[in-house]
Amino acid sequence: MTDPLEVIERVLRAVEQVPHGHVVSYGDIAALVETSPRRVGAIMGEWGGEVAWWRVTNAAGRLPDPLLPLARKQWQREGIPVDGDHCVISRCRADLTRLAADYADAVEDLS
């Protein structure tokens, strides 16, 4: 996929499919969209403000320090387990098979 705007749209739609109370990693989203985790992170940093960005972390459940105060509030609100400065992704990772199916439906109208 070479259209940068379509990649952005696909990443944001993938994030929209992550259920309340669950988290995925940048790599999980990257696998769905067929891009790199770094690109997902860059897209989230630039355009992720309108989606549930706190549901997408690195593989260790961490987010950049400036985002932590608001992320912690959101994690608490959604019942996402937290250990210090990160969420416990191993206990709240979304079902990736279901996420892939939901994502496929969400991008059906693209290309």
- 40-64 pLDDT per residue, tens: 999 999 999 999 999 999 999 999 9
Q: Rounded to 5 degrees, what are φ and ψ at 72?
A: -60, -40
Distance separating alpha carbons of residues 36 and 23, to the nearest angstrom:
18
- Residue 1: what pLDDT? 60
**Residues 60-93: tens digit of each pLDDT:** 999 999 999 999 999 999 999 999 999 999 999 9
DSSP 7-32: HHHHHHHHHHTSPTT-BEEHHHHHHH
Distance between first and last Cα of the chain: 10
Rounded to 5°, the CA angle 94-100-106 comes to 110
Q: What pTM was estimated for this model as a whole?
A: 0.95
Of the pLDDT bands very low, low, confident and very high (cuts 50, 70, 90), residue 111 is confident
